[in-house]
Amino acid sequence: MKIIILQDSPNRRGSTYLLADSFRQGAESAGHTVEIIDVAHAGIHPCTGCVHCGYEGPCVQKDGVEDIRRKILSADMLVFATPLYYYGMSAQLKALIDRFCAFNSSLTRKHMKSALLAAAWNDDSWTFDALKAHYETLVRYLDFDDAGTILGGGCGTPSMTEHSIYPRRAYELGRNLK
């Protein structure tokens, strides 16, 4: 299976990257092909709502999205890897997801697998509620097949994350993909 990980932390080697890389290692050990895309540094512009794309492309904006679009549409699975910022995904990932409207039908027709990896400093019982609800809505709307979530509470620094159970869980999620 070909897997694209949309890793969107502005901190290139932070907690989110550790989870994404652990997932990658697990998936590759099981024979899958994985590419991590650095969404945070891809220069993605927000959707303007112009609807020039007609909801099936191309977008009038000429930024990193077209290359990412090709990669996503050639994949079998899409993994969203995000730090938790004010109880939601980062703005960088949200900007890319908003641009999905330019290839919405193509995404929906693929019936891709998906997963969510997230890291947060906070570890309250409700910390990930809003992010989980958003992810579950995307999965339902885009007709994805959710393969699992790893929600790393108490992962505020790379050191905290390395010493937590979450990199191992991310590895196992990747390794056990069918």
Query: Could you report the average pLDDT of every consecutive run of 10 residues in the chain (178 residues)?
Result: 96 94 98 97 92 85 92 98 94 95 93 97 95 98 98 96 98 97
Residue 70's pLDDT is 95
Residue 7's pLDDT is 97
pTM: 0.96
The sign of the CA dihedral 59, 99, 71, 74 is negative
Cα separation, 23 vs 16, in Å, equals: 11
Residue 119's pLDDT is 97
Give residues with Cβ within 8 angstroms of 79, minimum separation 6.
Answer: 3, 4, 5, 6, 20, 23, 114, 115, 116, 117
> Looking at domain 2-175, does it have CATH number 2.60.40.1220?
no
Domains of the chain, by residue range, sit at 2-175
Residue 57's pLDDT is 76
Question: What is the strand order of the sheet 145-153 is part of?
Answer: 33-38, 2-7, 77-83, 113-120, 145-153
